[in-house]
């Protein structure tokens, strides 16, 4: 299999994770170097395969020793350091290290004295008292660990992962399986296809090419670089656990059943039950194999999802909506919201460049990439001065404005709004002064600090920012990071009311770790009449591709293209910008 930049980045990320465990220091120099290098490789426009170690070392973010590791990965298919760390910390022990209070020293003791190398083993040792007998430990430690395990639900299959961690894994597996001669079609189903924020396990479905042997597909899956453990493997289903503990099922189904299987394994369970009910009403039976006559078994549909839905007198339902939230009724009435596609998005309204500290692309390169994506307009929104390290001064902003206007004029193929991403202060105040703010073409205002104030304060804070006429859009509404930071708490009603009154839009930030505003907030906002935008918050060219996550998020919320300001043609969009900036 070819080693793409993404494979290299994934290996570097794993190296960072294992080094963090090994050194017991999240801020270790080495950990940060690997992480930086991973991000640098991801944003390279050249294939690393074509780069020498010295060329790699010249890339900003990649050091000499990391460059050598990348070369080794490309040339030999592995990195010695990574292999030895993988050996030192097998998946079971990595899981043990996630238990609070269990460090590397205890890990060694468990292994050497008790032969315990995973969570089940530890639970057993706590239960039979052998753990408490270890030197220097005791009942109290045993009890604390038992509680910690309980609290973290580590052992249960219900531990869920943020979609940002899961999607890249599924993409790699699907791409590598699709490359096999034995595979005709392959797709992911389950909660990932419904685009839930968190994922329990990944469900893959494949069909075989003519005359192919299922065992060839299963073997390739079992032997995949990401597979750390094979839980079970037969002719129709193989289950693996990846190196970082994610379960993935692969099912191979006959082509005539692919549609029915996709419907079944995409779920949700509640959606399936509603479909099955309609089948029963028609004297049919809906299963993962097909839609068939309940008596004769004669097949009505099964090869494609579309034909299954059509046979049930339903419009095809976009997977993201399959949560039994009224979508079956609407499919029957043919009143489903129009499906938002990436192609609907004519502009990106939250884009960073290297003018502010955390952007990685030059303005020229970023604008060229925006044009390449076929966009008609964009707002360049580098950080404003209050953001420490990364913010741009007034002089800087005025200079950037001159450069941007000249670029827009010389290119002539994209409308550029000179914008900024403002920081909403704890009292709702913004950067610069009002006169300076009014001179921007476009402002996004976002919360970057003070995440834990009381609801009433946060609500007031947001409403104040929304009411500022210079603000067009509120960026990533709560500031949450899925699985890591909950974000601010808000009373939504006054926030929505202020948005509707002033015309200020709420951003659907398409970065996978954010997906903010959340789908729940968007659903409620649609009811309140709020305008939305979909933005990528790109700091690198590859991140412009996040637009597809934004579209998926809109579909999940049931938001149609006409509720999204940046689906509008340039002239209409300009009118909208002007009306918001004149106070709604
Ligand atoms: P997850 O993995 O917890 O994030 O959520 P899902 O939705 O991927 O659930 P999963 O992996 O247990 O099963 C995948 C799909 O298979 C599920 O969405 C619907 C279908 N399915 C599983 N078990 C049942 C069942 O007992 N009845 C029905 N109707 N469908 C089921
Ligand atoms: Ca699943
Ligand atoms: Ca599953
Ligand atoms: Zn931003």
* Shortest-distance Cα residue to atom 19 of ligand 1: 267
Mutation pick for ligand 1 pocket among 153, 251, 267 (CB with most ligand atoms within 8 Å): 267
The answer to whether the CB of 284 falls within 8 A of the CB of 300 is yes
- Beta carbon of 49 within 6 Å of any ligand 1 atom: no
CA 350 / ligand 4 centre spacing (Å): 6
Q: Give dist(CA 370, CA 573) in Å, integer.
A: 17
CA 75 / ligand 3 centre spacing (Å): 36
Burial class for 571, CB neighbours closer than 10 Å (0-12, 13-18, 19+) = exposed
Q: Quick one: which H or E segment has residue 12?
A: helix 5-23
The DSSP code for 348 is E
Q: Give dist(CA 319, CA 336) in Å, integer.
A: 12
- Beta carbon of 268 within 6 Å of any ligand 1 atom: yes
CATH class, 93-151 region: mainly alpha
- Beta carbon of 420 within 6 Å of any ligand 1 atom: no
CA 330 / ligand 3 centre spacing (Å): 27
CA 152 / ligand 1 centre spacing (Å): 23
pTM across the whole model:
0.80
- Beta carbon of 38 within 6 Å of any ligand 1 atom: no
Domain borders along the chain are: 3-89, 93-151, 161-252, 264-333, 342-581
The ligand minimizing its distance to the Cα of 231 is 3
The answer to whether the CB of 161 falls within 8 A of the CB of 246 is yes
Helix crossing, 519-528 with 547-557: angle to 10°?
60
* Shortest-distance Cα residue to atom 27 of ligand 1: 269
298 phi-psi bin (left φ>0, alpha ψ -120 to 50, beta other)? beta
- Beta carbon of 264 within 6 Å of any ligand 1 atom: yes
Q: Which residues of 234-249 are buried (b: 16+ CB within 10 A; e: fewer)?
A: eeeebbbbbbbbbbbb
> What residues form DSSP beta bridges with 285?
292
- Beta carbon of 355 within 6 Å of any ligand 1 atom: no
The ligand minimizing its distance to the Cα of 537 is 4
Evaluate whether 3-89 and 93-151 have a shared fold: yes
Helix crossing, 214-222 with 163-178: angle to 10°?
140
* Shortest-distance Cα residue to atom 3 of ligand 1: 200
Q: Give dist(CA 508, CA 514) in Å, integer.
A: 9
CATH architecture for residues 342-581: Alpha-Beta Barrel (3.20)
Quick check: bond before 268 cis, omega within 30?
A: yes
Specify the pLDDT at position 155. Answer: 46
The answer to whether the CB of 332 falls within 8 A of the CB of 316 is no
* Shortest-distance Cα residue to atom 31 of ligand 1: 269
User: pLDDT of the chain along its 584 residues, tens only?
Assistant: 445 788 898 899 899 988 988 887 767 889 889 999 998 898 787 888 889 899 999 988 899 999 999 999 989 889 999 999 998 888 788 878 878 778 777 888 888 888 888 888 898 898 888 888 888 888 888 888 888 777 665 544 457 889 999 999 999 999 999 999 999 999 999 999 999 999 999 999 999 999 999 999 999 999 999 998 898 999 999 999 998 789 999 999 999 999 999 999 999 999 999 999 999 999 999 999 999 999 999 999 999 999 999 999 999 999 999 999 999 999 999 999 999 999 999 999 999 999 987 888 999 999 999 999 999 999 999 999 988 778 999 999 999 999 999 999 999 999 999 999 999 999 999 999 999 999 999 999 999 999 989 999 999 999 999 999 999 999 999 999 987 788 899 999 999 999 999 999 999 999 999 999 999 999 999 999 999 999 999 999 999 999 999 999 999 999 999 999 999 999 999 999 999 988 66
Of 171, 258, 169, the residue nearest 209 (C-alpha): 258
Specify the pLDDT at position 151. Answer: 65
Q: Quick one: which H or E segment has residue 181?
A: none
- Beta carbon of 319 within 6 Å of any ligand 1 atom: no
CATH architecture for residues 161-252: 2-Layer Sandwich (3.30)
Of 211, 209, 245, 214, the residue nearest 227 (C-alpha): 245
Structure tokens at 94: 């990595």
CA 213 / ligand 2 centre spacing (Å): 26
- Beta carbon of 239 within 6 Å of any ligand 1 atom: no
Q: Give dist(CA 226, CA 224) in Å, integer.
A: 5
* Shortest-distance Cα residue to atom 25 of ligand 1: 269
Of 231, 204, 201, the residue nearest 217 (C-alpha): 204
* Shortest-distance Cα residue to atom 9 of ligand 1: 190
Specify the pLDDT at position 26. Answer: 62
Choose the CATH number for 264-333 among 3.20.20.140, 3.90.1330.10, 3.40.640.10, 3.30.210.10.
Answer: 3.30.210.10
Burial class for 402, CB neighbours closer than 10 Å (0-12, 13-18, 19+) = exposed
Which CATH number is associated with domain 3-89? 1.10.150.110
- Beta carbon of 190 within 6 Å of any ligand 1 atom: yes
The ligand minimizing its distance to the Cα of 274 is 1
CA 218 / ligand 1 centre spacing (Å): 22
Give the 3-state secondary structure of residue 262.
Answer: helix
The answer to whether the CB of 224 falls within 8 A of the CB of 175 is no
Q: Quick one: which H or E segment has residue 474?
A: strand 473-474
Of 170, 249, 177, the residue nearest 207 (C-alpha): 177
Q: Which atom of ligand 1 is nearest to the CA of 198?
A: 4
The ligand minimizing its distance to the Cα of 200 is 1
| Chain mean position to CA 285 | 36
Helix H, strand E, coil C: the string for 489-555 is CCCHHHHHHHHHHHCCEEEEECCCCCCECCHHHHHHHHHHCCCEEEECCECCHHHHHHHHHHHHHHH
The answer to whether the CB of 453 falls within 8 A of the CB of 436 is no
Q: Tokens 């509120």, residue?
A: 474
């Amino acid at each position: 299999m070819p080693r793409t930049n993404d494979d290299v980045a994934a290996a570097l990320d794993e190296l960072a994770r294992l080094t963090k465990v090994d050194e017991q220091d999240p801020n270790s120099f080495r950990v940060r170097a690997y992480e930086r290098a991973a991000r640098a490789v991801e944003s390279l426009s050249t294939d690393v395969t074509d780069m020498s170690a010295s060329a790699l070392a010249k890339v900003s973010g990649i050091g000499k020793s990391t460059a050598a590791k990348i070369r080794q990965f490309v040339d030999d298919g592995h990195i010695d350091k990574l292999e030895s760390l993988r050996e030192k910390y097998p998946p079971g022990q990595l899981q043990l290290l996630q238990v609070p209070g269990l460090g590397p020293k205890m890990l060694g003791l468990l292994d050497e004295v008790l032969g315990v190398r995973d969570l089940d083993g530890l639970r057993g040792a706590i239960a039979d008292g052998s753990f408490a007998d270890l030197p220097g430990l005791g009942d109290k430690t045993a009890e604390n660990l038992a509680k910690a395990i309980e609290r973290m639900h580590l052992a249960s299959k219900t531990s869920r992962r943020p979609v940002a961690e899961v999607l890249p894994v599924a993409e790699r597996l699907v791409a590598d399986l699709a490359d096999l001669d034995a595979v005709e079609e392959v797709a992911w189903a389950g909660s990932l296809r419904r685009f839930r924020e968190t994922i329990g396990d990944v469900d893959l479905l494949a069909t075989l090419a003519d005359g192919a042997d299922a065992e060839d597909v299963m073997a390739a899956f079992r032997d995949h670089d990401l597979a750390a453990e094979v839980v079970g493997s037969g002719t129709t289903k193989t289950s693996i656990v990846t190196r970082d503990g994610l379960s993935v099922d692969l099912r191979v189904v006959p082509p005539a059943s692919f549609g029915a299987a996709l419907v079944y394994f995409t779920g949700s369970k509640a959606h399936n039950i509603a479909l099955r009910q309609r089948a029963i009403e028609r004297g049919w039976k809906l299963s993962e194999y097909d839609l068939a006559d309940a008596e004769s078994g004669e097949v009505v549909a099964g090869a494609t999802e579309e034909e299954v839905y059509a046979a049930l007198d339903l419009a095809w339902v976009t997977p993201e909506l399959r949560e039994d939230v009224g979508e079956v009724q609407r499919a029957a009435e043919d009143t489903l919201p129009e499906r938002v596609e990436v192609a609907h998005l004519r502009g990106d309204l939250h884009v960073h460049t290297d003018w502010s500290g955390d952007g990685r692309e030059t303005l020229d390169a970023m604008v060229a990439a925006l044009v390449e994506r076929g966009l008609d307009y964009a707002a360049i929104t580098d950080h404003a001065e209050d953001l420490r390290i990364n913010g741009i001064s007034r002089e800087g902003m005025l200079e950037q404005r001159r450069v941007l206007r000249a670029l827009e004029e010389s290119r002539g193929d994209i409308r550029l709004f000179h914008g900024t991403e403002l920081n909403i202060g704890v009292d709702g105040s913004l950067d610069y002064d009002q006169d300076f703010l009014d001179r921007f073409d476009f402002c996004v205002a976002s919360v970057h600090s003070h995440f834990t104030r009381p609801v009433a304060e946060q609500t007031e804070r947001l409403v104040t920012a929304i009411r500022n006429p210079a603000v067009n859009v509120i960026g990533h509404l709560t500031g949450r990071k899925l699985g890591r930071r909950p974000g601010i708490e808000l009373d939504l009603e006054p926030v929505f009311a202020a948005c509707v009154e002033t015309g200020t839009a709420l951003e659907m930030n398409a970065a996978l770790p954010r997906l903010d505003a959340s789908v729940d907030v968007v659903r409620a906002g649609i009811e309140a009449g709020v305008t939305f935008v979909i933005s990528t918050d790109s700091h690198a060219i590859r991140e412009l591709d996040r637009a597809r996550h934004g579209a998926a998020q809109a579909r999940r919320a049931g938001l149609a293209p006409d509720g999204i300001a940046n689906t509008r043609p340039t002239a209409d969009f300009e009118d909208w910008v002007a009306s918001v900036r004149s106070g709604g």
